[in-house]
Amino acid sequence: MDLGYLSVQLFNGLVNGAFYALLSLGLAIIFGVLGVVNFAHGAVYMLGAFAAYLLLQQVGIGFWPALLLAPLGVALLGVIVERLLLRRVYGLDPLYGFLLTYGLTLFIQDAMRLRFGIQGQPYPTPTELSASVSLGVVGYPVYRLFVIAFSIAMCAAVWFLIERTRLGMVVRAATERGELTRALGIDVDRWVTAVFAFGIALAALAGVLAAPMRNVAPLMGSELIILTFAVVVIGGMGSIVGAVAAGFLIGALASLGAVWSPALENVIVFALMAVVLLVRPAGLFGAREAT
């Protein structure tokens, strides 16, 4: 097995992992504070990519400003959705939040399909990052390395926010011991809208990062969300570090496994999930059985 190919696969895996990590991080934070598993997370990722695409097409705003503006815009949409819809299912069985956001997913995806068609739209790689570097014998696009680095930096920033700030303390407490946090008199609900918007923004950011690599298309997030669910089941949703670590780990493992059989890259993720369910049903980093 030649080393160049292996390292390309490893980096490809880390790129996938970068997306898993950003998405599952947002899912975990939202679930922790709202008690809702956001099925629409994949659709939000798609909206982030479309926001970047539209900014470029309609207003001429490029990749770097879009990296900030697109998540902000989508997060604003998230605020409206939280206030109007999600708010009504708090405290109910989490299945209702799941169904509600599934309905939202269908609605958003098909609305975008009506407007933009099923075909993917290309998005240019920012010129500063369009070169490629040599990995031994083969070249590797700089942009992909940037995605890995940026995602790691982002996750580290979120980690810092959560470990070192007052808001972070609330989120951490609510994610790990929701009922107890409320019982101690901490007003978790005050932070609900902000936390939802933040989780949404992370998914939209992942979408912007994906735009130059993958075609911007209405269904681009529909398979990713299912893979992300598998990552979340493997990592355990009760832990924020776990969500990120599991994301990168699974991305890398699946890609390395694909060296052996390329067709099975995605299947490997689900096989890993099966193994984890057998050996450690609560997830690698999950301490308790959450329902």
Return residues touching other proteins (CB under 8 A). 37, 85, 88-89, 92-96, 98-100, 102-111, 113-114, 222-223, 226-227, 229-230, 232-233, 263-264, 266-267, 270-271, 273-274, 277-278, 281, 289-291
β-partners of residue 139 are 134
**Judged by CB, which is closer to other proteins: 45, or 143?**
45
CB of 232 to other proteins, least distance (A): 7
**Judged by CB, which is closer to other proteins: 227, or 284?**
227
CB of 226 to other proteins, least distance (A): 5
CB of 268 to other proteins, least distance (A): 10
CB of 87 to other proteins, least distance (A): 10
CA–CA gap between residue 151 and residue 155 (Å, rounded): 6
**Judged by CB, which is closer to other proteins: 108, or 210?**
108
Give the DSSP H or E segment for 246.
helix 240-260
Residues found in the chain: 291
Question: In degrees to the nearest 10, what's the CA dihedral of 200, 11, 262, 205?
Answer: 10
Closest CA to 38 of 91, 81, 84, 83: 81
**Judged by CB, which is closer to other proteins: 113, or 182?**
113
Contact status, residue 14 vs residue 248, Cβ threshold 8 Å: yes
Q: Residue 24 is which amino acid? A: S
CB of 233 to other proteins, least distance (A): 6
**Judged by CB, which is closer to other proteins: 24, or 181?**
24
CA–CA gap between residue 290 and residue 176 (Å, rounded): 10
